[in-house]
């Protein structure tokens, strides 16, 4: 009787890692990405229309993303409406300050210009924060926003 050498027996293979399963309640990556794009598209719309009158098109990007994805992705429906409401609110604030400047024959610019700068910086910062939160799967709510689209 011969015993096979121990080198002929293969070593046991290491256990395979468990399959990646999303926790219940976690959002798919595609939905988080579209939610982030709903917020970031306002920056693109604002930049593209800045040369034509001050960035009034900041709400066009979120509107397009929301209209395209609202029926298939609930998270994008929520974040698209949020981004759209926020950017409409910002556009209204800019328009009110412009009307104040026109009605007061330019004297209102003493108030409007500093407020435009403050609102513009807040718009940029809050849009970036919302984009990061949406990419993490968090339903972000902008402060000081008129909820016009429900």
The per-residue DSSP string of 87-150 comes to HHHHHHHHHHHHHHHHHTTTTTHHHHHHHHHHHHHHHHHHHHHHHHHHHTT-----TT------
144 torsion bin: left (phi>0), alpha (psi -120 to 50), beta (else):
left
Q: Is residue 143 part of a domain?
A: no
Q: Is residue 11 part of a domain?
A: no
Q: Is residue 92 part of a domain?
A: yes
Mean pLDDT throughout 43-69? 82
Binning pLDDT at 50, 70 and 90, where does residue 132 land?
Answer: very high
Count structural domains, the chain.
1
Q: Is residue 82 part of a domain?
A: yes
Q: Does the pLDDT of residue 26 top 90, yes or no?
A: no
**pLDDT value at residue 45:** 82
Expressed as residue numbers, the domain containing 59 is 28-135
Q: Is residue 17 part of a domain?
A: no
Q: Is residue 2 part of a domain?
A: no
**pLDDT value at residue 5:** 58
Q: Does the pLDDT of residue 78 top 80, yes or no?
A: yes
Binning pLDDT at 50, 70 and 90, where does residue 52 land?
Answer: confident
Q: Is residue 62 part of a domain?
A: yes
**pLDDT value at residue 29:** 86
Q: Is residue 86 part of a domain?
A: yes
């Amino acid at each position: 009787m011969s015993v096979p050498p121990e080198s002929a027996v293969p070593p046991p293979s290491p256990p395979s890692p468990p399959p990646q399963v999303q926790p219940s309640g976690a959002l798919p990556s595609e939905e988080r990405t579209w939610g982030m794009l709903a917020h970031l598209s306002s920056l693109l719309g604002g930049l593209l229309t800045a040369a034509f009158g001050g960035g009034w098109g900041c709400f066009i990007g979120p509107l397009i993303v929301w209209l395209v994805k609202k029926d298939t992705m609930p998270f994008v429906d929520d974040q698209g409406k949020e981004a759209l409401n926020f950017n409409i609110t910002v556009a209204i604030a800019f328009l009110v300050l412009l009307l104040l400047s026109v009605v007061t024959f330019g004297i209102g610019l003493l108030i409007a210009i500093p407020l435009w700068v403050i609102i513009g910086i807040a718009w940029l910062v809050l849009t970036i924060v919302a984009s990061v939160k949406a990419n993490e799967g968090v339903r972000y709510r902008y402060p000081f926003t008129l909820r016009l689209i429900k």
